[in-house]
Amino acid sequence: MIARMAVSQESDIYRDVKHLLSIPYFDHVHWQLNVVWDPEGSWKDFRAWLEDSYYPGLRKLANEWIYEIERSMRIQGIVPFQGVMKRLFGLKRQGLPCGAGESAFTISTDGSVLACPIGGEFSWNRLGNILDNEPQEFRSRLIPSEPCPSCEYYPMCGGRCLFANKERLWGDDGFELICETVRYLIELMKEIKPRIERLVEEGTISERDLLYPRVNNTTEIIP
């Protein structure tokens, strides 16, 4: 059971994730920043919110996450942390974390096959039709555009979101600012990776414990 959260300027990432983790029904918590989907002007000051709230809250959450692993050998189900760490350990091959166009597809009522389930009206998203094409023809025909494939973080991020990559609704500057949030998350996980490596070497936890999702459930992983 995954608690999925849309994070806006009203959110406190530390407070809200901790609250959802305290509810026994949820095994995992995932969030996405409410960027691109909302007009850029709906944020009073996205940059200030990142610096004053999101980044400090993310770091505090990460520190408690690794402390809990070391203290009790329990990995709290924080999806972005597990998903990035999985790739840092080389437990998942490259590609969009949600698998859009690679291992996850949407079939519309007219038989059209889409890479991304939310972009049905866009021609770039249409891979073919189940009446005219063989299933193997659809796989990996659509990948994120530059600058993602040339970015050093691409192996860990996979392009974050195919729709956001293709549409750039916040423009190139807004796209870069969103990418900054991804780089911050990845660097944060890199900082604590040696502590997890030590636990794996000691046999306290196994690499398999980090896997999420073990079977693709189309979770976006990257906020």
Q: Residue 102's pLDDT is what?
A: 87
pLDDT of 126 above 90: yes
Closest CA to 184 of 213, 150, 146, 156: 156
149, with CB counted inside 10 A (0-12, 13-18, 19+), is: exposed
pLDDT in tens, 131-179: 998 888 888 788 899 999 999 999 999 999 999 999 988 888 999 999 9
Phi, psi of 137, deg, nearest 5: -70, -20
State the pTM of this model.
0.92
Boundaries of every domain in the chain: 2-91+170-210
Mean pLDDT of 209-223: 84
